A and B are shown apart, each in its own frame.
Chain A
Amino acid sequence: MDSDRCARLTAILARATGREIAVASIVALSGGASSATFAVEALRDGQPWPLILQTAAAGAVPEGSLSKADQAALQMLGGRHGVPVAAVVAVLEAGDDLGQGFVMERVAGEALAPRWLRAPDFAAARQKLTGQCAAVLARLHAIPLSEAAGLALPTGRVDTARERMFAHYRSFKVDSPVFDLAFAWLAERCGDAEPSAIVHGDFRSGNFLVDSDGLAAVLDWELAHLGEGAEDLGWLCVNAWRFGIWQKPVGGFGERAELYDAYAAAGGARVDKARAHMWEVWGTLRWGLACLQLGDDHVTGRIPSVERAAIGRRVSEVELDLLHLIRFGDI
């Protein structure tokens, strides 16, 4: 089975590159809810060529996520505009019989945020990271929407997105007064702006590859959509991505003022603090719905898992963060 997959991937890579390819192994790295990631050891013209294969878990892409082909295309688009990404090598086609997916070069770096956030040898990298994140987001948000016209990026006005998120919450048939409070608070503030930028949608510490120079690559583009750039800034500051280093609001490594200043200095819009705060509440609530989703996976028996059941109990953390954000203006 495995040698069969290696042979198929060899053919795909040879087709995509026109070079002499040999795939030696495909090893599963992690199985997320919607994607599966594999380390691929290949030879290109006899030289070692470390790659990553990302496929849709169980062959399906959940609603609200990009197809793998669009994800690959968007990653390349970002790369052309100066966003550090892994170079896409090949996109799987229907006839390849490996499901949806694409192959990219394996970028060296540390992906485990709890490690690079704390290890002394990443201290210099952490110093640079806030400015790098700001500059990368400014470049991404400056890409003309016309360049993404061929991609099926989810889109819609901000108030419509809030309504969609509320319907998602109601689908769990759970009554959380704090979540309803947060939805009402957002309704008073979110406005009805049309999308103005490509939003990464999952720009957080856990989706960075970090090396000694800081941000080496931005991973996981599957939640990208059209919206307001400040959404990415708010999501980056959600408490859950600080991995316990809550005193550093930007991803556990930086300060908001530095992030906003660097974003404007790199060509991004001047950040309105009230607007950024609105997006932090939005992002925190979105993480809360993800916790509800994982708990729901377990209690409905769809994906029985002690891990998902336990994450379901993190809803109360999110509720407390929301109350702190709404009461005191930050977290």
Chain B
Amino acid sequence: MTEQVEATALIDAVAAFLGEISPALEGRQAFHAKVAANALAIVARELAQRPQAAEAAALAGFLGHNAGLDALRAELCGRLRRGQVTPETPGLVEALTAAVAAKVAVDNPRYATLARINA
């Protein structure tokens, strides 16, 4: 244990606090409290699932070499913009699907397209 209070424990504490105050809120503030709770849940999943590692692995597999995620994204976008990679390039759509599925599993795991694309 590196910290007595881990990041996940802080998230749980804030989520519990939001749950405590939200019944007293109305209208816009009540809605924003719900949005805030969802945002916290995204953070918790991101810490647990590390989707950026999965995305980097998928992009590196397609491009054939390792680099940081920002560099991999920039390289692939640049190749698409220059037409060196096209929508028809074998393996591209599959690699991007793996990368994006990892992100959606964090951002909105109940999103229907996620279950459909994994089926």
Contacts and interface: CB of A to CB of B under 8 A. Distances in A.
B80 A177 contact: yes
B104 A320 contact: yes
A176 B77 contact: yes
A210 interface: no
A244 B112 contact: yes
A321 B113 CA distance: 7
A185 interface: yes
A319 B100 contact: yes
A317 interface: yes
B7 interface: no
B19 to A, nearest CB: 16
Interface residues of A, number: 29
Contacts of B36: 306
A184 B92 CA distance: 13
Given A184-B87, A313-B42, A317-B104, A324 B35 contact: no
A320 B117 contact: yes
Nearest to A331: B113
B113 A239 contact: yes
Contacts of B112: 244, 246
Contacts of A313: 39, 42, 107-108
B114 A320 contact: yes
A324 to B, nearest CB: 6
Interface string A290-328: 000000000000000011011001101101110110110
A178 interface: yes
Contact of A184 (B39, B70, B86): B86
Nearest to A185: B87
A239 B114 CA distance: 13
A316 B107 CA distance: 7
Given A317-B107, A320-B111, A323-B93, A181 B39 contact: no
A181 B35 contact: no
Contacts of B92: 181
Given A175-B73, A310-B38, A326-B93, A181 B87 contact: yes
B50 interface: no
B22 interface: no
Nearest to A245: B112
Nearest to A170: B81
Contacts of B77: 175-177, 180
Given A239-B113, A244-B112, A188 B73 contact: no
A246 B96 CA distance: 22
21 contacts: A175-B73, A180-B77, A180-B81, A184-B81, A184-B83, A184-B86, A184-B87, A244-B112, A307-B32, A313-B42, A317-B107, A319-B100, A319-B103, A320-B104, A320-B111, A320-B117, A323-B93, A323-B100, A324-B117, A326-B87, A331-B113
